[in-house]
Amino acid sequence: MRILEGQGVSKYFGGLAAVSKVDFYVDQGEILGLIGPNGAGKTTLFNLISGALPLSSGEIRFKDQKLNGLKPHQICQRGVGRTFQETKVFSNMLVFQNVLVGSFFGSPNRVPAEDAAREVSQALEFVGLSAMRATPVKDLTLANQKRVEVARALATKPELLLLDELMAGLNPAEVGEAMELVTKIRDKGITIFMVEHVMKAIMGICGRIMVLHHGEKIAEGTPQEIAASETVIEIYLGEETRAAS
Amino acid sequence: MDTIARLFGNRKLLLVGLFVLLSVFVATFPLYARAFDIRVLTSMLMYIILAVSWAMFSGSTGYMSLAPAAFFGIGVYTIALAQDYLPFYVIIFVGGLVSFAFALLVGLVTLRLKGIYFTIFTFGLVVFLSEMVYYVASQVGQTRGIDIMPQPRATLLYTMFGLAVVTVIAIYFIRRSRLGLALLSIGGNEEAAAHMGINTTRVKVLGFAISALFMGAAGVVTAPALIYIDNRIAFSLFYSFMPILMAVFGGMGQLYGPVIGAAVFGYLAKTLRAQLYDYFMLGFGIILVVVILFLPNGIVGLVPMLQNKLGGVIAKLRKGGQANQHANT
């Protein structure tokens, strides 16, 4: 079943097409990877899905309901959670308060305080931050701040989670832990759509991969197909050749 | 020693004790104090209301509002216009509600503005209201200002104290509520807050309007002491700048920061202004710079710093309290 579906999704910044007529879908329960060179429009596509930016044209449907024109808070409450490429934690708050925000406001219905407290503990336990619940977020390492973002998004009880470069800036050990975490989230029954530059991670855990280049979708398939695709290799290698010359 | 430790440990008891002491002090104050001192105390309480309500919105969200004078002035003009028709205590509510409604309206339009643009707009709002009121007054009547029916000094003191208590308690609960958490998260990162399901526009407008409610009510209670008001008195930018400086000086991380800041500077502003105004402003500026440079969390940020320095002694005293905290986590 398709949980998220986009048709002719486009976003123009002035004359520049950041995302151009992209058709895509995410199946329930899968991990879909989104790759592409810098400036390909990956984060812009995420921003269109989460409502941070309005669409120029096209349509995005979540569970067969149109998301077009909805505000970010409404899209969140319908079950789409997200993290950010550059971490956007609430740096003026403690770890558990960050997650509490997700728990209190992520549902369309009022969440009783006891339930929220329990959800926060569960989410922190899940990402492995229980010991730091009362620490100011600004004192955490980047890897742990990213865990806070994941816990905060999980506390909103999403059915679909958008992960924007979760592994960027992490060391190899931390990347391994993050991959484990993403798989664990999928095993909970949450569908995942992730932007990633770390190829090891994307090839290791994604069931399917989609490639954007200059705002257009140029390839889609299993990790094996993508790794073997000539168009994809050309884009990545072509860039490298140009950069080298 | 043990009893002291237990008293310090039980914060609720300590707060209730402080409140009772403060109430007795304020209640008996007019019996022996000079008229001038009663006005000083009333003025300190007014600044506490303004600083605490300013910090509730601007301190949490980071939206620096220069509008306190606008809402304060609306309160002053509410009593000026309604004093012949409504009793004093009803006007306090009306003044608060008028300010609240006005802030809702203004907030809906302007809280889309970010950073310095929002600040400039709120500044402009005060000037606009002042000029507007002056224009209307000059069209309608012969005189620029309006006389306000005076009230006994003790009445004003008690009323201001009651209003300050209500304000501080209300804001204590707001800070601990979902609305408080939402306001704080907007200050942390507004975009992330929206993506966690917070209707940021609604939360900001509501927080802005609630802070305006208390400022408007404070304007109503202050007006009778002014006896005569005009646009320059009611919308004086002093009422915008002072609460901000006081809140920054006191520290906005805790509720009692702005309370302490407002009490200290409210007292100095009123007493030193009469004779040593220039020196006061000079000293005020120097102290503020020092606080901003060395105490980013304001004067109340000194407490944890001193605790570290004096470590052992205070730790012993507060043992009870810490044991409680550990039990909670």
Structure confidence by residue, pLDDT tens digits, B35-65? 899 999 999 999 999 999 999 999 999 999 9
Q: Of the ranges A50-64, A148-162, B39-53, B140-154, which one carries the lowest mean pLDDT score? A: B140-154
What are the beta bridge partners of residue A31? Answer: A192
Is residue B258's pLDDT more than 50? yes
User: A163 in a domain, yes or no?
Assistant: no
Contact B200 A73 (CB under 8 A): yes
Question: Is the Cα torsion angle A96, A100, A103, A105 positive or negative in sign?
Answer: negative
Domain ranges in chain B are: 33-297
B136 within 8 A of B230, measured Cβ to Cβ? no
Tell me which chain A residues have a C-beta less than 8 angstroms from the C-beta of B59. Answer: none
- What are the tokens at B284? 């005020």
Q: Which residue of A has its CA nearest to B252?
A: A92
Residue B123 CA to residue B132 CA, distance in Å, equals 14
Mean pLDDT of chain A: 92
The whole-number average pLDDT for the span A19-28 is 94
User: What is the token pair recorded at A204?
Assistant: 């290791």
Split at pLDDT 50, 70, 90, the class of B326 is very low
CATH number of the domain to which A53 belongs:
3.40.50.300
Q: Is residue A143 part of a domain?
A: no
The verdict on residue A228 lying in a domain is: yes
Query: In CATH, what number does B33-297 get?
Result: 1.10.3470
Contact A82 B200 (CB under 8 A): no
- Which one of B182, B195, B329 has the shortest CB-CB distance to A72? B195
B238-250 helix and B35-54 helix, angle to the nearest 10 degrees: 70
Nearest CB to B188; choose among A72, A82, A91: A91
pLDDT digits over A77-115, tens only? 999 999 999 999 999 999 999 999 999 999 999 999 999
In a domain, A224, yes or no: yes
Domain count for chain A: 1
Alpha-carbon distance B226 to B232, whole Å? Answer: 12
Cα gap B101→B75, rounded to integer Å: 12
Cβ–Cβ gap A93/B192 under 8 Å: no
Q: Provide mean pLDDT across the span A187-200.
A: 92
pLDDT, mean of residues B170-191: 95
| B209–chain A Cβ distance below 8 A for any pair | no
Asked if residue A222 is part of any domain, the answer here is yes
Radius of gyration in angstroms for the set of CA atoms belonging to chain B, rounded to a whole number: 21
Nearest to A152 among B182, B196, B199 (CB): B196
The full 3-state SS of chain A, as one line of letters, equals: CEEEEEEEEEEEECCEEEEEEEEEEEECCCEEEEECCCCCCHHHHHHHHHCCCCCCEEEEEECCEECCCCCHHHHHHHCEEECCCCCCCCCCCEHHHHHHHHHHHCCCCCCCHHHHHHHHHHHHHHHCCHHHCCCEHHHCCHHHHHHHHHHHHHHCCCCEEEEECCCCCCCHHHHHHHHHHHHHHHHCCCEEEEECCCHHHHHHHCCEEEEEECCEEEEEECHHHHHHCHHHHHHHHHHHHHHHC
The amino acid occupying position B307 is: Q
Residues B39, A97: Cα–Cα separation, whole Å: 42
Read off the pLDDT band of B329 (50, 70, 90). very low
Q: What is the model's pLDDT at position B317?
A: 59
pLDDT, one tens digit per residue, over A130-163 is: 999 999 999 999 999 999 999 999 999 999 999 9
pLDDT of B9 reads: 64
pTM of the model: 0.88
Give the phi and the psi of residue A212 in degrees, each rounded to 5.
Answer: -110, 145
- Mutate one of B61, B181, B186, B196 to test the A interface: name it (highest A CB count within 10 A): B196
The chain-wide mean pLDDT, for chain B, equals 87
Give the per-residue pLDDT at B111. Answer: 82
Residue range B6-21: average pLDDT? 79
A31 located within any domain: yes
Range of the domain at A243: 1-76+212-245
Percent of chain B scoring above 90 in pLDDT: 61
In sequence order, what DSSP letters do the residues of B181-214 get, joined into one string?
HHHHHHHH-HHHHHHTT--HHHHHHHHHHHHHHH
Torsions phi, psi for B275 (to 5 deg): -95, -45
